[in-house]
Structure 1
């Protein structure tokens, strides 16, 4: 592209120079020739007037008298009636420019100038025109190279940006080139890079959340299936199968919840539900894992509390806290329920060493973990709690106490909708 731009610009300049240069040469040649002819004619008239003035006062007209009035490169012949011609200067050879002027006393003055002088002047003019044309070509080449670089370099840069996007590097470059059309393309590519970056981040986050959130139900489900394979008691098999089916339903709810959050994290399906049911479900799921670890999990506090939220999301938050206590805590894990103001609170605590001081302020950030875990569990749990209008906080660091706060009153919008339905 750069070569084509230079060639096209140079071709245009050469055509313009050829058209206007030839015209200028023709015009200048004619102008110089006419000017030389006018000078010779003017010279003849001037000399004729000098001869007339001398003849009127009866002064002698000689070559010596007129020599100072004639230019060196001119040849002059003065013809007087009844006298021999007076010649001044050297007679030129070859083609000449000649002009004659008659005098009032019957004399005739003829002036000749060699055409070579005109040729020399035309040659000087052509040289000047040629130099100007050469300078114009050089300037055109330099301008064409600069313009080609200004256009070609951004296009190469934009092609590299598009190639980077295609190879999975969505970082915007934020480069502008001072050309509106190219800057518009750069704006579009940067916007596309930002959108692709957000999409990739969302997909990676969904994959990480899914991996973390599905691991716990799948582990619990596999434990129930192992219990079924190790027992011959039909009642035990039936009980474990019932629990396994409940866990399958919870697994389905986890998947639906993850997909919903990936489309719109603010989307929630909050309802009023019994906290005891969710807590007992979690106790039933996690007791086998705690028994295997030689630990216990218990519940205490206010009973028959009702809260507003999504039962499946609340179960996932509690599962994340219980699993966190199993992996990083110690001793007995307790789930305590209480009421504060218009909120129901579920506290999860254990008898372990607690949260390190350097992690306390960042414990809910993604990829933050003190024990080589994924560092996403608490971050996902907080997102789930906030999606239902609740909040998850660390109430105490040593020993660790986490509190899940849920509203006990349905949202105002829901009450208004119910009131409109009754009407």
Structure 2
């Protein structure tokens, strides 16, 4: 911007100087081309007054022309400088009004282009933040829905029974579910700020036992059951909440879309622990199977569950796969860890 202003000012001054200087230079050349007698004739006493008058009018005319030319050049250069600033202001105003996309600006003026680049970068960061917040809200809604539903059913059972022992047992399970809900929220906030880690270790048996208690009312109402088999005493490298969310998503998916008994089979496979979840339903439609983990792809519901579960598995250093579409067999692969202290 500074260089453009200096350049435009210099151009206006040079144009004015040229208007004034070129006629004077032409006069000097004309005088130099004449002999002494001709010059003395034009400068004689009889003609000196006429020459003074002509020179005065000539200088006045040249001055006016120089001012007009300088003004025109200055206005043109001002327009060249002002137009990019005006376009930048319009884009900034649209951005402030909520427009998500900031159109790039190539004005040829380094300072203006720098401001435009900063605004474009800020707009991109803002869009990413909004997208992350929306995704966080959607994920939180999905992760909290199943535990809240199970807790509500637990409270309804408590309200319908007079057996103090049964009430005490259901209340203890409900307390565990509330603690899990609290941990889900804390872990989600932690992941949104710094990403999920895979440094924690958790007993697979304890997580599966907790999920069986949590899902028992829902499966009981559907006259179905969960059967856990395979290797016992496995410890995986994952946070308790993340492992619960992965397996709860698979159990909920089977409850909604599957049929019959749900079998959970855990085993070692090299350095990994494989947890397979299958049921006796019709499975995943073949056309849907290749896209089953894509966000918003669903045969009913929000379409977030499996995509979110896969993301959690990957952030925990593992993976989630569909081993078989018909019958549906999902498998979570997680690293095995040492015993939980």
Q: Same fold (TM over 0.5)?
A: yes
Inter-CA distance 241–126: structure 2 relative to 1 (3 Å threshold)? same
Query: Which residue in the other structure is 2:276 paired with?
Result: 347
Inter-CA distance 236–369: structure 2 relative to 1 (3 Å threshold)? same
Q: In structure 2, how many angstroms separate the alpha carbons of the residues matched to 1:149 and 1:356?
A: 63
Q: In structure 2, how many angstroms separate the alpha carbons of the residues matched to 1:23 and 1:354?
A: 92
Inter-CA distance 379–132: structure 2 relative to 1 (3 Å threshold)? same
293, 299, 302: which is aligned to 1:374? 302
1:406 aligns with 2:334: yes
Q: In structure 2, how many angstroms separate the alpha carbons of the residues matched to 1:216 and 1:292?
A: 15
1:21-420 map, 5 Å = 21=20, 38-39=37-38, 97=44, 115=47, 122=54, 126=58, 130=61, 134=65, 137-138=68-69, 140-141=71-72, 143-271=73-201, 273-371=202-300, 373-409=301-337
The CA deviation string for residues 219-248 of structure 1, in whole angstroms up to 9 with x for no partner, is 111111111111111011001000000001
SS of 1:204's equivalent in the other structure is helix
Preserved CA contact (<8 Å) 2:19 2:65: no
Q: In structure 2, how many angstroms separate the alpha carbons of the residues matched to 1:367 and 1:180?
A: 43
Unaligned runs of 5+ residues in structure 1 are 43-73, 75-95, 99-113, 411-423
Inter-CA distance 160–375: structure 2 relative to 1 (3 Å threshold)? farther
Preserved CA contact (<8 Å) 1:270 1:388: no
- Offset of 1:97 from its aligned partner? 4.2
Q: In structure 1, how many angstroms separate the alpha carbons of the residues matched to 2:205 and 2:13?
A: 92
The CA deviation string for residues 368-411 of structure 1, in whole angstroms up to 9 with x for no partner, is 2222x22111121112112222211111111111101121245x
Q: TM-score, length-normalised on structure 2?
A: 0.82
Unaligned runs of 5+ residues in structure 2 are none
Structure with greater helix share of residues: 2
Query: Which residue in the other structure is 1:66 paired with?
Result: none
The CA deviation string for residues 58-95 of structure 1, in whole angstroms up to 9 with x for no partner, is xxxxxxxxxxxxxxxx9xxxxxxxxxxxxxxxxxxxxx
Q: In structure 2, how many angstroms separate the alpha carbons of the residues matched to 1:294 and 1:397?
A: 24
- Offset of 1:165 from its aligned partner? 3.0
Preserved CA contact (<8 Å) 2:319 2:334: yes
- Offset of 1:207 from its aligned partner? 0.9
Inter-CA distance 207–136: structure 2 relative to 1 (3 Å threshold)? same
Preserved CA contact (<8 Å) 2:12 2:74: no
- Offset of 1:290 from its aligned partner? 1.5
Inter-CA distance 225–405: structure 2 relative to 1 (3 Å threshold)? same
Inter-CA distance 20–406: structure 2 relative to 1 (3 Å threshold)? closer
Task: State the structure with more CA Rg.
Answer: 1
Quick one: higher RCO (CA 8 Å, sep 6+), 1 or 2? Answer: 2
- Offset of 1:302 from its aligned partner? 2.3
Q: In structure 2, how many angstroms separate the alpha carbons of the residues matched to 1:125 and 1:160?
A: 48
SS of 2:333's equivalent in the other structure is strand
- Offset of 1:304 from its aligned partner? 2.6
- Offset of 1:171 from its aligned partner? 2.5
SS of 2:321's equivalent in the other structure is strand
Inter-CA distance 156–359: structure 2 relative to 1 (3 Å threshold)? farther
State the aligned residue count: 328
SS of 2:101's equivalent in the other structure is coil
The CA deviation string for residues 183-231 of structure 1, in whole angstroms up to 9 with x for no partner, is 1101111111121122112111111111111111111111111111111
Q: In structure 1, how many angstroms separate the alpha carbons of the residues matched to 2:12 and 2:313?
A: 72
